[in-house]
Amino acid sequence: MKPTLLVVELWGVGDLAIATPFLRAASERYAVTLLAKPYAKDMQARFWPQIEVVPFVAPWTAFRRKYRLWNWPWREIFELRKLARQHFDAALSARWDPRDHLLLMMMRAGRRFGFSRLRSRMFLTDPVPRPAPTAHRYENWRALGRALDVELPAQYQLGIQRRQHRGEVLIHSGAAQPVRVWPLDRCASVVRRLRQNHYRVQVACDPDQRAWWLEAGEQTIATPRTVAELLRLMDSAGVFIGNDSGPSHLAALCGVPTFTVFGPQLPEWFAPLHPAGEVVEGKPCPYKPCSDYCRFQTPYCINNISEEEVWRRVAPFVDRMLAREASPTAFA
């Protein structure tokens, strides 16, 4: 019988995507239970069907008003005690977050692995040295893997294969926070220029952007509201263009080459894991990375990325990834 392992990853779709190589590798040696937001259920069937998912929305992962304790879902929190009765052999979190570490202790796991911060070492039986501050977040999972004798390949050796079909260009204009959204009018110009060069383009957006796109004349706009709907869109995509967001990471995980426009965060930390992916980095700011709490009235780091700057990069990227039979001068 396999030893049991509880993995805590309570944040975004992108975080779960980055965790996926670890989850797959760990499930070969451990019976893995994943505590994550409910959309992990949508990812489970495709990426880690052998893992048990326990859905939980941690109130401290809210973007605003996260510490209004009277609004916390105390019933759901207390119901997590049922996990403690499973007596996990090991439990871990890849975030240096004392709240996660306290949760690990509450689960009464035999061994508790994590990156100590603000004296959270007291909650861990096996504190793990944190990777270099400049390292990609994937390296956190590699470090935890080594502590559990689960070997993960280096980022550049990940076996994510590029799709071989010539699908459509999927452009997703949304992101979890407004400071990560490249201006929609510039995104629409890129869509128009791609179509002028005879590419099929599917535009997808967040629900609050739908009216803007319809007014701009986009009649076939997709507005996926679940991860499952996003995954269905990925199945028709040959290239993905989007912001630093969950959809970009999902695309990479599905084998779709990604072109990602960054704003307040750092590509060296969060670039999607597809080996053929490319990024445009946000403009310099003394407060970067700012964790989406912008000190200015407008997020200059992403708003100051021009249409031409993106087009110069995205045009040859799409041409190369979709292996067009047209002349290499097709993009003018």
Distance in angstroms (rounded) separating the CA atoms of residues 281 and 216: 27
- What is the per-residue pLDDT for 332? 30
- What is the per-residue pLDDT for 118? 84
The answer to whether the beta carbons of residues 188 and 216 sit under 8 Å apart is yes
- Domain spanning 168-321 has what CATH number? 3.40.50.2000
Provide the angle, in degrees to the nearest 10, between the axes of the packed helices 307-321 and 184-196: 40
Tell me the per-residue pLDDT of 183-198, one tens digit each, with 9 for 90 and over.
Answer: 999 999 999 999 999 9
Tell me yes or no: is domain 4-157 CATH 3.40.50.2000. yes
Q: What is the residue extent of each domain of the chain? A: 4-157, 168-321
Of the given ranges (89-93, 103-107, 140-144, 254-258), which has the lowest mean pLDDT? 103-107
The answer to whether the beta carbons of residues 219 and 239 sit under 8 Å apart is no
The answer to whether the beta carbons of residues 35 and 41 sit under 8 Å apart is no
Q: Above 80 in pLDDT, residue 141?
A: yes
Q: Can you read off the two tokens belonging to residue 142?
A: 């590699």
**pTM recorded for the entire structure:** 0.90
Domain 4-157 matches domain 168-321 at the CATH topology level:
yes
Tell me the per-residue pLDDT of 195-253, one tens digit each, with 9 for 90 and over.
Answer: 999 999 999 999 999 999 999 999 899 999 999 999 999 998 999 999 999 999 999 99
Distance in angstroms (rounded) separating the CA atoms of residues 65 and 56: 18
Tell me the per-residue pLDDT of 292-307, one tens digit each, with 9 for 90 and over.
Answer: 788 898 899 999 999 9
User: Residue 217 region, left (φ>0) first, then alpha (ψ -120 to 50), else beta?
Assistant: left
Tell me the per-residue pLDDT of 275-296, one tens digit each, with 9 for 90 and over.
Answer: 889 999 999 999 888 877 888 9
Classify 55 as helix, strand or coil.
strand
Q: Provide the Cα torsion 269, 271, 275, 281; round to 10°.
A: -110
